Structure 1
Amino acid sequence: MAPLFPISTSSQPFLFFFLFFSGVHSATFTMTNNCAYTVWPGVLANAGTAPLSTTGFELKQGETVALAAPSGWSGRFWSRTLCSTDSTGKFSCVTGDCGSGRLECSGAGAKPPATLAEFTLGNGALDFYDVSLVDGFNAPMMVTPQRGTGNCAATGCLADLNGACPSALRVTEATSGEGVACKSACEAFGDPRYCCSGSYGTADTCGPTPYSRFFKNACPRAYSYAYDDPTSTFTCSGADYLITFCPSVPSQKSSSNQFPSINNTMIFSGMSDPATVSSDGFRQGTIDLLWLVAATIFLMLTWTC
């Protein structure tokens, strides 16, 4: 099993490579923090997959850390933000918390909302990977394959959606009131048509909604709801992967067609969805729909400046 090894930090002038591991090495996940604040990445191996050498650690601004994963590994990575340790020694985070009470998540996943990078490494076959907003958003993230063969497209969510998040989905920090995360409609309302559950539990019955389109318009290659597979799952072979928290946002002129940073159409279809509400669930109506449109315009203006 591979140890966690730092590659570079903002406070250290030297590079460190500790490439000591046993077993078959399939891929290296290199995590870089470009945020203006510290993040605490969480790591969760899927059922039946051995955990990596760490399940949670601190990553300060400008730092880079790499983890080696064996062939066939599958799991997810995310960032925890606004973390602290209380007087009893309990560790917790405002967003992405895994509930372990410690720096290591130890087999626990992120509490929504959280931006997720998900991987299934091929055992002599293709790797599958995606960035998912199905559980909501808490920080920008990009996944970039390196030295692989095949399609190997970059994917992620470059936009910071916390400021533009609709009021019904927004998570705020208790003291400042600042938006720090953006819930999915499923998490916010619990309605089966937003959760793709019950009678909406198939690709034929669960489609995009104005809320999922808010995420999709800002981040065209990220999963926005459970059956968003055609535009959100990517493959590569023999690659290592760079996971960047708060990646640099390219200008519209410099961004290539290989990584569309924003959907220029910026149109919501199915606009009657939020207004068609049940008496026992929620009533967002036209006001929230107008907020979704306004938030999307805000994102478009921000990205084209």
Structure 2
Amino acid sequence: MPQNNQMLHFPVGHIMDRVLSLFHIVVSDNTHIQAIDNGLKKGIKYVLNDAPVGQPASLTGENVIEVNDNYCEFLYLICYTFLVINDCCLVLTDNVEGEASISKEEAESYCREAGEMLSEALKMLVPNENDEKCMAASRGKLFRFPNISRPNKYTDFSDSMTIAGLTYVLHHEFGHFIFEHEEDTPFNELDADKHAILHLKKWGEATKNENTIFAGIILALIASAFINPTLTATSYPDIDDRIEYALQFADDTLKDNPNSLLYRIIGFSANIWANHFKIDIPKITANESHKEYVCRIKSALINHKRKTKII
């Protein structure tokens, strides 16, 4: 629960109830009860601040799962903008399979607004020049962007991806608790990732929401790449390695489709990430699939990280 009667920031308040519901739905009540009996504190603690975006969530020494409100906000903006810009670019370049659901004029309008949202999202990574403890994004401007109170054709799907991504983040921390991880190691991190992915995957398959679930998981990891642009970590798997690991669990129709939504999201976001941080990555060629392109990006990132992958 928020502390000291503080209000959750846009648009976290309208999705966190559903995140908490999904967090409990994807594993049995007995699992949660046993965890609480073993010392896990009830509920999720939302840490509210206006600081530049940092760690998504953590399991504290007091066995409290904390999630940072500013990361939740950042992830929402990333999910919405990447969905909209990617979809509208398909319309604007005549690459839609079948009949486009919006006109090119509408696509330009959606894309322009999403570009403004992305600009504000990226400001959340840096401090305000007048106050280094506060992010540079404008809270007032964020409230004017599409959300549950100002819905459009993309808000339902972007909300659902955000909910899936945040639930993945929370279950990663829950996994650390139930596996009794006492230190950060690459294999402990992958165990926690696997716990979160498999439980969400099972629910996604049962409810025909697997596309949404995996898009949310991948976007949650992509958001982490913006927080840590070097991609490298000390005792954690690198972010691109975790994305590659998560893809192993995707349904074959997603994983084996060379132009699936997952590969398009990864390739598109990699270009936004590289452009923002002025990092050289290859450009997609006319004759390669999005899956082939993602594999080329992955290989190029080894040079960026100056090391070989650790998993």
Give the alignment's TM-score, normalised by structure 2. Answer: 0.30
Give the alignment's TM-score, normalised by structure 1. Answer: 0.30
Query: Hey, which of these two has a bigger chunk of strand by percent?
Result: 1
